[in-house]
Amino acid sequence: MRTILILTKDHREYRAIIEAELPDISIITEPTEECEIVLGSPSLISKELVKLPKLKWAQSTWAGVEPLLGPALRRDYVLTNARGVFGGLMSEFVFGYLLAHERKIFALAQAQQEKEWKRFITGTLRFKTIGLLGVGSIGAEVARTAKFFGMNVRGYTRSSEDCEYVDDYFHTLPPLPLGCVPARVEGRGEGLLYFANNLDYLISILPNTKETRKIVDANLLSALPPHCIFINVGRGSAVDEFALIEALEKDKLAGAVLDVFEHEPLPKEHPFWTTKNLQMTFHTSAPSFPEDIAKVFIENYRLYVEGKPLKYQVDFEKGY
Amino acid sequence: MRTILILTKDHREYRAIIEAELPDISIITEPTEECEIVLGSPSLISKELVKLPKLKWAQSTWAGVEPLLGPALRRDYVLTNARGVFGGLMSEFVFGYLLAHERKIFALAQAQQEKEWKRFITGTLRFKTIGLLGVGSIGAEVARTAKFFGMNVRGYTRSSEDCEYVDDYFHTLPPLPLGCVPARVEGRGEGLLYFANNLDYLISILPNTKETRKIVDANLLSALPPHCIFINVGRGSAVDEFALIEALEKDKLAGAVLDVFEHEPLPKEHPFWTTKNLQMTFHTSAPSFPEDIAKVFIENYRLYVEGKPLKYQVDFEKGY
């Protein structure tokens, strides 16, 4: 009988789902010396790592695993994250806010409060251009939804071009002349500015890595047209906060929806709370529903028992 | 050279688009005795009907044509309405409000105003059940979008079952035993109550006809579960206003979004302005973009010139 340690506030839901699917296991909620398998949130797992000398596999209930990447922490186990489950939820979030913007739902609510029959001219998503910073499994689902609504889709990636719903790809490095083998070039190059040109919506779905740090800076923001809306559902570290505030306050950008921040919860004195045309959503864009995450865990558990490679393994160096 | 009378406030846009596509025509904006063809809003056309003795064809820029259905008005011409162009826009409207509800975007905005970091539990469209009152070309597009988001789709129609995106159909009349030829049965029967059972969202896309009048009444509303959201993008006449107010005020229904009303603009003293959990959007759900409507007109104009039957003909008796 194998033992599974569950470290999340939703441990009761996880226990019920997993026990129904996997007979012949024992579930615990406190670390033991013998424990090899843990399912939980990265923040809770990171606190217990020292009490798990025999740990072989940790399944994160989140997509982001920053708390487990600290340089002082062990990396002698397989870390898998939750992938393939957030795309639909994040996509609903992104399109909820894009449609709210196009259909002016806050302005309409305001008019109702003032008892004014106001027939606003409202917009549509059709034929608009959306740019995705990062096209992993979540970005691919956002791209698929954008195509459903008749939009043009641009993707900005390190080098991958594997999503069929992206019309045009842009990369960290500019395209190379045929036959040219480059030395590793640092920097984001001009690809990012071509990507930004005339975007109606910019969506960041980037993880927190060295390469994505403050990629949304004054330079990128000034390349966007002033009617553009920026949405960040990736990580707060991708944004130069002061450059974003300046762009919004000076109407160089029409609006921003931020779900993630460098420091969460956002401190009360942070200027974002009252920045012009900035909406914040407190890291709610993709709730981890236990029934979704448990499925990922159960699938991986079966591979683990058979000694096969697990799905969604995190590269500790890359950070995702 | 044929003469086309354009009767809409957007006549400049229409003129530019139509003149570019159809050479050899003459566009006027005031009625003449000789005029055979008019393109315009039903309300403006209805006022000029007496000045158009030779009228053969009127193309409405709207989907609804009520102003041309009055019993005192002529019906000796072909009336075509705008169809096939509003589905996408209405669908964006409906899903904008459904997502705003699931993602609690008003509550999140309120929390931001109060500088409270509140991690609301938000919902999803996936696996929810949506019921469409009326499945014409607009309803079909709403159904298609609902399936995209992983929802269950019910349709309530007189008898048609031709939309592939509807999972279950319900009809005005209950299903008949095999071989039974019914006398015409009046009334809406039990089909409507089965249709309403356990709906998460009820969407009315019904036109204004005798048969749809106050179909959303106390009986139907009481068959809905209390977490249900009602959206009306059809016509205001489909709703028993006082029954709806009672359902909302007594929390028998979680919310309503009304785009259309019995009397528009809604009078200042109407209780809807301040009814609990009621949002109104002032008939903005599907703006008539001239580039879309002009396409319908031009297609029909070419059929007209060739003497072929026109598309989207209105049955004056049915009213749509």
Domains and CATH numbers, chain A: 2-84+288-305 (3.40.50.720), 87-280 (3.40.50.720)
Q: Name the minimum distance, in Å, from the CA of B218 to any CA of chain A.
A: 25
Chain A residues whose CB is inside 8 A of the B148 CB are: 145, 148
Q: What is the pLDDT of residue A287?
A: 84
Q: Quick check: B41 and B20 in contact, CB under 8 A?
A: no
Q: Name the minimum distance, in Å, from the CA of B292 to any CA of chain A.
A: 12
CA-based R_g, chain A, Å: 22
Asked whether the predicted pLDDT for residue A212 surpasses 80, the reply is: yes
Of B103, B115, B284, the CB nearest to A96: B103
Provide the mean pLDDT of chain B.
93
Q: To probe the interface with B, which of A90, A101, A103 has the most B CB atoms within 10 Å? A: A103
Q: Name the minimum distance, in Å, from the CA of A314 to any CA of chain B.
A: 27
- Mean pLDDT value across residues A234-249: 97
Q: Residue B27: which residues within 8 A CB-CB, separation 6 or more? A: B3, B4, B5, B6, B15, B18, B19
Distance CA B91, CA B285 (A): 9
Chain-chain contact of A284 with B106 (C-beta, under 8 angstroms):
no
Q: What is the pLDDT of residue A97?
A: 98
Of A88, A96, A108, the CB nearest to B99: A96
A260-304 pLDDT, tens digit each:
999 999 999 999 999 999 999 999 999 888 999 999 999 999 999
A182-203 pLDDT, tens digit each:
443 444 557 899 999 999 999 9
ipTM of the predicted structure?
0.87
B103-128 pLDDT, tens digit each:
999 999 999 999 999 998 899 999 99
Q: Name the minimum distance, in Å, from the CA of A105 to any CA of chain B.
A: 8
Whether B242 and chain A come into contact, CB under 8 Å, resolves to no
Helices of type H across chain A: 11-21, 42-48, 87-102, 105-113, 137-148, 191-196, 218-223, 241-249, 290-305
Whether B110 and chain A come into contact, CB under 8 Å, resolves to no
Chain-chain contact of B111 with A282 (C-beta, under 8 angstroms):
yes
Chain-chain contact of A122 with B284 (C-beta, under 8 angstroms):
yes
Chain B residue with the nearest C-alpha to that of A284? B119
Q: How confident is the model at residue A234 (pLDDT cuts 50, 70, 90)?
A: very high
Tell which residue, A116, A111, A153, A118, has the closest CA to residue A135: A153
Chain B residues whose CB is inside 8 A of the A284 CB are: 103, 108, 119-120, 122
Asked whether the predicted pLDDT for residue A236 surpasses 80, the reply is: yes
- Mean pLDDT value across residues A303-320: 94
- Mean pLDDT value across residues A28-41: 96
Chain-chain contact of B148 with A150 (C-beta, under 8 angstroms):
no
A121-148 pLDDT, tens digit each:
899 999 999 999 999 999 999 999 999 9
Chain A residue with the nearest C-alpha to that of B279? A109
Q: Name the minimum distance, in Å, from the CA of B120 to any CA of chain A.
A: 7
Asked whether the predicted pLDDT for residue A178 surpasses 80, the reply is: no
Chain-chain contact of A279 with B92 (C-beta, under 8 angstroms):
no
Sites in chain B below the pLDDT cut of 70: 173-189
Whether A315 and chain B come into contact, CB under 8 Å, resolves to no
Chain B residues whose CB is inside 8 A of the A106 CB are: 109
Chain A residues whose CB is inside 8 A of the B265 CB are: 117
Chain-chain contact of B119 with A282 (C-beta, under 8 angstroms):
yes
Q: What is the pLDDT of residue B173?
A: 60
Chain B residues whose CB is inside 8 A of the A125 CB are: 92
